[in-house]
Amino acid sequence: MDLLRSRADLPRLEPYRHRDEPLVLVPTMGALHAGHLELVRRASRLGTVVVSIFVNPTQFGPAEDLDAYPRDLERDLGLLGAMPVAAVFAPSAADMYPRGEGVMIEPGPRARTLCGTVRPGHFRGVLTVVAKLLHLVRPRIAVFGRKDAQQCLVIDEMVRDLAWPVRLVDLPTVREPDGLALSSRNAYLSDAERVRARCLSEALVAARRELDAGQRSCRELQAGLLRRLAPADAVDYAQVRSVPELAAPAAATGRVLLAVAAHVGRTRLIDNLVLQVDDDGVREAPLLSEVEERP
């Protein structure tokens, strides 16, 4: 596994471009957990994997956890060393933002709701760093976790509107046995908070059951989500939205996103389910394209 510590090291990726399989980028902020490793494993079935590790300062708000965000490059490299990864790109902030913020990418309409409302400037930072990573690494495929569903859709909107030659793939959320979505931020939770944090995935599973039983009213589904988020200390949103537009429909039909964001103690958690709701039933679905993996 090749470690690239700066832009100047990127020419070392050139030999990988001449293989008969695509270069696949998996962007992360490090503090790797089993969810990241599953993305890497699935990405390796699509092509030659490059993982980026960069805690992107521009996507954190002034009152957010940039300084507290867990960082342990040695541990992350140890975990990735045991995986099918060709290279890790782990640049410094000065390398990614040599002139400070400079030119930033303005997100499209999909960013103007949900987390985009609660975290002003967040998706501007995300898109800017993803744009830089895509241009520096030049992968044919970039892989993202469905756990950050709005992020996937906002990046997809950028790539389509700006006609960039990269295919985006979203992969399912990896969960703890009790349903809690894996997140680097789960490390902030105390034991008692960890128990309360279950309410996010439990609320989503209950809403899915209501859909299975025929409920289609977004108002009713959202009221149920909110009720079940009562163990959290504050709820940012509990919404049913259309995919990919993230509009607020009256009825949950077609491809829908059930999305929740809530605070447990000082930790902000998000979770979601992406469902295809048809007359003959409800099934989990991707946000973007279905993946064709190599056998």
Could you give the residue numbers annotated as active site? Answer: 36
The alpha carbon of 262 is separated from its chain's Cα centroid by a whole number of angstroms, namely: 16
**Residue 48 near ligand AMP by CB under 6 A:** no
Report 216-235 residues binding ligand AMP (CB under 6 A): none
List the one residue out of 88, 74, 73 whose CA is nearest residue 1: 88
**Residue 183 near ligand AMP by CB under 6 A:** yes
**Residue 35 near ligand AMP by CB under 6 A:** yes
Q: How far is the CB of 288 from ligand AMP (least distance, A)?
A: 12
Rounded to whole angstroms, the Cα distance separating 64 from 59 reads 9
Using the rule CB under 6 A, which residue among 123, 144, 188, 237 binds ligand AMP? 144
Stretch in the footprint of ligand AMP (CB under 6 A) among 144-152, 206-214, 235-243, 267-275: 144-152
| Per-position b or e across 219-228, b if 16+ CB within 10 A of its CB | eebbebbbeb
Q: What is the dihedral of CA 26, 246, 60, 7, to 10 degrees?
A: 30
Rounded to whole angstroms, the Cα distance separating 149 from 99 reads 30
Instruction: Please say which residue, 183 or 222, places its beta carbon nearer to ligand AMP.
Output: 183
The tokens describing 98, both together, are 């040599």
Using the rule CB under 6 A, which residue among 25, 29, 141, 262 binds ligand AMP? 29
The tokens describing 151, both together, are 């992020």
Q: Using alpha carbons only, what angle is made at residue 212 by residues 206 and 213, rounded to the nearest 5 degrees?
A: 90
Using the rule CB under 6 A, which residue among 16, 28, 207, 211 binds ligand AMP? 28
**Residue 201 near ligand AMP by CB under 6 A:** no
**Residue 173 near ligand AMP by CB under 6 A:** yes
Q: How far is the CB of 38 from ligand AMP (least distance, A)?
A: 6
Using the rule CB under 6 A, which residue among 184, 239, 267, 272 binds ligand AMP? 184
Using the rule CB under 6 A, which residue among 36, 110, 132, 241 binds ligand AMP? 36
3-state helix, strand, coil in the chain (%, to 5): 40, 25, 40
> Given the rule CB under 6 A, which residues bind ligand AMP?
28-29, 35-36, 39, 144-145, 147-148, 173-174, 181-184
